[in-house]
Amino acid sequence: TKANLELRRIEEEEASGQNKNNKYSVISYEKRVQLISLASSKGYSISRAARELGIKPSTGKFIVKCFRDYGKIMKKTSCQAFNHAENQ
């Protein structure tokens, strides 16, 4: 499907480092879940958990803040594409 192909293309670009046109790096859904898990259940500080996952501490703090405030891990469109690809 289109969503599956688009997700695969983005993952390949991230892996090869070709996604240089974007000003910001894309943090995968899996890393976001790991970050929230480390920060909430394992007692890590957000900065420490972010560093261990290779994420900037300020980005980690924003991810956790959005999760606490809105209960979302990613934007709705990104989650839909991810969930759709996962179910295929």
* 39-57: pLDDT as tens digits: 988 889 999 999 999 999 9
Top pLDDT among 59 and 19 is at 59
**pTM above 0.85?**
no
Exposure string over 8-42, b if 16+ CB within 10 A, otherwise e = eeeeeeeeeeeeeeeeeeebebebbeebbebbeee
- pLDDT value at residue 85: 44
Angle between helices 29-40 and 57-70 (to 10 degrees): 80
Question: How long a stretch of residues is the chain?
Answer: 88
Q: Cα separation of 45 and 23, whole Å?
A: 27
| pLDDT, mean of residues 23-32 | 83
- pLDDT value at residue 9: 74
